[in-house]
Amino acid sequence: MSGISAGKRLSEAGITDLVILEATDHLGGRMRKHNFGGVSVEIGANWVEGVNGGKMNPIWPLVNSTLKLRNFRSDFDGLAENVYKETYVRQISRMNYHENTRAN
């Protein structure tokens, strides 16, 4: 999508004599699908990050208007924070227990 995005921006800036090159024989860069046993599987780019927060990923409007993708929230962003928080709280609780039960 970076080549198409760059071409679009250049075109909007008035530069129309341009050529977009692809590294392989298909369009879309890393975005592609492959047929495995009759099932179409996406390989390469699998999601567009940064579409739910206050700062929108600039590629999302282009991808959404072109490919009509659906947007959904996942908890992948909070995974590390949640694991850290649970581990931290458990460790603090353990430290408090040992601190409070130690003979003075």
pLDDT at 21: 85
What pLDDT does residue 87 have?
A: 55
Instruction: Give the domain range for residue 100.
Output: 74-104
pTM of the entire predicted model? 0.37
For the chain, the DSSP string reads -HHHHHHHHHHHTT--------SSSSSSTTEEEEEETTEEEEEE-----SSSSSS--THHHHHHHHH-------SHHHHHHHHHHHHHHHHHHHHHHHHHHS--
Same domain, 66 and 90: no
Which residues of the chain, if any, have pLDDT below 50?
Answer: 81-82
| Residue 95 sits in the same domain as residue 49 | no
Angle ∠(15,18,22) on CA atoms, nearest 5: 140
Specify whether 44 is located in the same domain as 61: yes
Residues 31 and 67 grouped into a single domain: yes
User: In the chain, how many domains are there?
Assistant: 2
* Catalytic machinery residues: 49
- My answer on whether 68 and 90 are in the same domain is no
Q: Are residues 47 and 94 in the same domain?
A: no
pLDDT value at residue 12: 93
Q: Are residues 35 and 54 in the same domain?
A: yes
| CA 7 to mean position of chain CA atoms | 22
Q: How high is the pLDDT of residue 27?
A: 74
- Give the phi and the psi of residue 27 in degrees, each rounded to 5: -85, 150
pLDDT of residue 64: 73
Beta bridge partners of 40: 35
